Structure 1
């Protein structure tokens, strides 16, 4: 993996780079996640989604990150459902460029975001789900120290088929005060 991987919170100014990333990888992503439809793939829509992400971060509800190699977005990482009271947890999601796969970028980026969630956001638990057939994502979970704790059957409907999901968790070894 190159040392030039940089992780940033999204900004509306990133819209053109995010659009290029999403357009290049649309078919790849839609193997695993629901289609956003054609309307999403235009600059104003992407900019609007990034503005919404910035608002959610300012409200401490969600954090949307970009993984960059030089001036190119190679991945997106999201912490959703952030709960900093009582539960101290969030739900992790991510997607990475097919072209940049196999270089360790996803593992490095997920580790960086989880570290920030534990240290800066003072979260105790990060959860994630992976479609059972998504072996690369399962490998990322293991490499990042996540533990599989459950298997839900027929829990997501994609491309006319019900698919199983694996549930993962990672706990902060230093408990938030």
Structure 2
């Protein structure tokens, strides 16, 4: 059974492999990270851990029993009881309900462990999978249209206290 784990220094090799193996798949639905992300991965990983230690962000990985990363689930820009949710799943881990279950679990952690009351998210209009996960987890569209790189998208919000 996959486990949601808070990002740690020793996750670096498996996380880099996850990002490299799924780069083309991710680029079809979310903005590409660019070559610098891979070239500077060690420094970026250390920076994410520092942000997490300061309480600015909460980074998580969905890891299988062999230690392979199946997904990333992040709460970023933590401020005044709210945060922005972002997630991505490995192509081979999709269509099994793992993303929805993990987002729901992270929403619970957001309230119980991190003291958050509101989560925001965004998804491209053509990213049906992410929009479905958000809706199933209780997020509602705000009606605000945005651009995610060169793609039109929608903003979503979840009032954790009212979540059923």
Length, aligned pairs only: 161
Match of 1:170 among 158, 161, 164: 158
Determine helix, strand or coil for the equivalent of 1:33: coil
**Where in structure 1 are there 5+ consecutive unaligned residues?**
none
Match of 2:76 in 1: 80
| TM-score, length-scaled by structure 2 | 0.91
Number of the residue aligned with 2:44: 49
* Residues 107 and 160, structure 2, Cα contact 8 Å, conserved in 1: no
Is residue 137 from structure 1 mapped to residue 130 from structure 2 by the alignment? yes
Q: How far 1:128 moved relative to its partner?
A: 0.2
Residue 24 (structure 2) pairs with residue 27 (structure 1): yes
Match of 1:156 among 134, 148, 151: 148
CA distance, structure 2, for counterparts of residue 11 and residue 47 of structure 1? 12
TM-score by length of 1: 0.84
1:15 aligns to 2:3 (yes or no): no
Q: Which of 109, 115, 130 is matched with 1:116 structurally?
A: 109
8 Å CA contact retained: 1:131, 1:165: yes
State the structure with more CA Rg: 1
2:144 and 2:42 mapped to 1: Cα distance? 36
CA RMSD of aligned residues (A): 1.6
Structure 1 residue 5 corresponds to structure 2 residue 22: no
- In the TM superposition, structure 1's runs of 4+ consecutive aligned residues that sit over 4 Å from their partners are none
**More helix by proportion, 1 or 2?**
2
Shift of 1:166: 1.1
1:82–1:103 CA distance, 2 compared to 1 (3 A): same
Deviation at 1:164, TM superposition (A): 1.7
| Aligned 8 A contact 2:18 2:90 in 1 | yes
For the residues of structure 2 that align with 1:118 and 1:101, how far apart are their CA atoms? Answer: 26
- Report the Cα offset of residue 156 of structure 1: 3.0
Unaligned runs of 5+ in 2: none
